[in-house]
Amino acid sequence: MKKEVKFSLVFRDMWQSAGKYQPRVDQLVKVAPAIIRMGCFDRVETNGGGFEQVNLLYGENPNRSVREWTKPFHEAGIQTHMLDRALNGLRMSPVPKDVRKLFYKVKKAQGTDITRIFCGLNDTRNVIPSIQYAKEAGMIAQASLCITYSPIHTVEYYVNLAKTFIDAGADEICLKDMAGIGRPVSLGKIVAGIKAYKQDIVIQYHSHAGPGFCMASILEVAKAGCDYIDTAMSPLSWGTGHADIIAVQEMLKDAGFQVKEINMEAYMEARTLIQEMYDDFLGYYIPKLNHINNSLLIKPGLPGGMMGSLMTDLEDNLKSLNKWKVKNNQPELTTDQLLVKLFDEVAYVWPKVGYPCLVTPFSQYVKNLALMNVIQMEKGKERWSMIADNIWDMILGKSGQLPGPVAQELVDMAKAQGREFETNDPQSYYPDKLDEFRQEMKQNGWELGQDDEELFELAMHPEQYRAYKSGKAKADFEKDLAERKAKKSAPAAGNMPKQIKVSLNGQTYEVNIAYGDEAPAATSAAAAPVAAGEGTDLLAPLEGKFYLTKDNSETPKKVGDAVKEGDVLGYIEAMKTFNAIRADRAGVITAILVNSGDSVEEDDPIMKIA
């Protein structure tokens, strides 16, 4: 009898690998019947890391989205799965133990069958508790091997890691080849080694198409006994995404495997609906380069799931850097020039910080560190001159044990700054918090939600949930979308408008428009900033969103507070990391010039100190 290989549609990751946002719930529910009628999928990835945060960012309740999106697949007998960042839950930063436990209960109640648990450090201390919590909640626990290519990450390394997860109770194993740089023959050997240890363990292979290895890798793992293959579909296949279901199905059928047929009429219907979502608003956040395969990705090993947001963020970074270059009479960089410099710096930085697997959040940390190095060096400053606190946490071991040693220069820098390397269980640094969040919801008159799902959202994504509840998230998103639409529809030549007025939710905004590589002028904030007092401006060192605190454990600074040189005054969230803004002198805060949550550009004044 032919070996059967089954398919999963990674619908969430299709969008995340292409751009910044996910479809709205009405769009998801509309496309679900066509996906079901395609008849070739036994599993669909419906939610997980990134999905719920971006729902909140454009003002939609992710709990309603997950419930309504998973329902038709359950009714059709198709399993749903999600992506789970172990210690970090659904976000970039570690999660308290009580929130992690609630996480699985909520997702099971909402209709998610399988959780794909991964840790970018492959630290078993982060993954094994999640295996236990998921099984206690009645979910299928799929433990991931985060695949990368280095002197440390050998076939033996991965087979032994899988054995540890199986012995700890994992129901399934996923080879999470998030950058698509796993070498095909080695991946086949890993699958064969796992099957030799436990023949009936279910193995699922996930790969990205960008570097060009994925079709060969899929064939090799299938030959070695892999049970499920993750696939995508047009117009979001290939590029920084995943192999298209049509090509994979035809290849495996030709190789002698038993595979399900594809209802092409339903495929074309689903494809049309996806294109409609793309044209509606999602395409405004999908850079053209993300449709292209690029073997330059082999060297830095950056994951496909990150490339969507990376290319969008890089536009802003390039504008900011070129603005500085023009001011300082230096030649501007092109996108390609900055990208090559970034890829080279990632390859330089990665071994220095101990070879973490380049997957969320560590891919962002390594990329952000590399990009900061590039930007600082382009400005004539030193490498390593700006390292965010959560990147330090990774280097110091607070997120888990790094696979390799940290470079001596970073060890010396940590010592000079009074930072200590850690060896404790990472969870021990993040105490329980649910009671605090319950109290906050009670004080605000917010409902805990069905199965405590609203409590969970606040606890998992505090800043995004508060912005969602206040309406600020929706207003900010709609304002940004209006800017992008205006910019795209502007005339190619002649007297192009530099500013338009947009009315959203009864409030009028002035939207400044830029063309090409031109940097836009600062737009007016939704709320008026605090009036300026006397003193010297504290300038934003980079572009991003300004916050007075990064979580509710901190007390925000206020006008009148005395500060010492080096005190943390706030944070700029850029590229999914919070970068501490420190006082460059002792004094008293006389003005806070921007509101928490406002976007700032590099060198914008954010406070005054006298």
Give mean pLDDT, residues 574-583: 78
Nearest-10 crossing angle of helices 362-378, 335-352: 120
Domain boundaries, the chain: 1-470, 536-609
Instruction: Report the candidate in 558, 560, 567, 548 with the shortest Cα–Cα distance to residue 588.
Output: 560
pLDDT on residue 6? 98
The rounded distance, in Å, linking the Cα atoms of 535 and 602 is 20
Give mean pLDDT, residues 67-76: 97
Cβ(565)–Cβ(588) below 8 Å: no
Q: 33 pLDDT exceeds 90? A: yes
- Helix intervals (H) in 38-121: 51-57, 62-75, 97-110
pLDDT on residue 604? 85
Angle made by CA atoms 22, 26, 28, in degrees to the nearest 5: 50
Q: Kindly tell me the burial class for residue 357, based on how many C-beta atoms sit within 10 Å of its own C-beta (0-12, 13-18, 19 or more).
A: buried
Share above pLDDT 90 across residues of the chain, in percent, rounded to a whole number:
60
Most confident of 197-201, 358-362, 461-465: 197-201
164-173, 293-302, 529-538, 562-571: least confident range: 529-538
Could you tell me which CATH class the domain 536-609 is placed in? mainly beta
Q: 224 pLDDT exceeds 90? A: yes
Instruction: Report the candidate in 243, 213, 390, 238 with the shortest Cα–Cα distance to residue 307.
Output: 238
pTM value is: 0.79
Q: 504 pLDDT exceeds 60? A: no
Cβ(468)–Cβ(63) below 8 Å: no
Q: 518 pLDDT exceeds 70? A: no
Cβ(587)–Cβ(579) below 8 Å: no
pLDDT on residue 349? 94
DSSP line for 207-260: E-STTS-HHHHHHHHHHTT--EEEEB-TTSBSTTSB-BHHHHHHHHHHTT-B--
pLDDT on residue 286? 85
The rounded distance, in Å, linking the Cα atoms of 369 and 526 is 31
pLDDT on residue 320? 82
pLDDT on residue 335? 86
Cβ(203)–Cβ(228) below 8 Å: yes
Q: 271 pLDDT exceeds 70? A: yes
Q: 122 pLDDT exceeds 90? A: yes
pLDDT on residue 150? 92
pLDDT on residue 603? 79
**pLDDT tens, residue by residue, 460-503:** 999 899 999 999 999 999 998 898 888 877 655 445 555 555 55
Give mean pLDDT, residues 574-596: 84
pLDDT band at 589 (very low <50, low <70, confident <90, very high): very high
> Token pair for residue 192?
């064969």
pLDDT on residue 575? 63
The rounded distance, in Å, linking the Cα atoms of 463 and 548 is 11
Give mean pLDDT, residues 69-85: 97
Give mean pLDDT, residues 520-546: 64
15-19, 144-148, 312-316: least confident range: 312-316
Give mean pLDDT, residues 156-184: 97
pLDDT on residue 131? 98
Q: 237 pLDDT exceeds 80? A: yes
Q: 235 pLDDT exceeds 80? A: yes
Kindly give the pairing relationship between strand 544-547 and strand 568-574.
Answer: antiparallel
Q: 19 pLDDT exceeds 70? A: yes
pLDDT band at 598 (very low <50, low <70, confident <90, very high): confident
| Mean pLDDT, all residues of the chain | 88
Look up the CATH superfamily of 1-470: Aldolase class I (3.20.20.70)
The rounded distance, in Å, linking the Cα atoms of 607 and 585 is 12
Instruction: Report the candidate in 191, 238, 236, 197 with the shortest Cα–Cα distance to residue 214.
Output: 238
Q: 138 pLDDT exceeds 90? A: yes
pLDDT on residue 289? 74
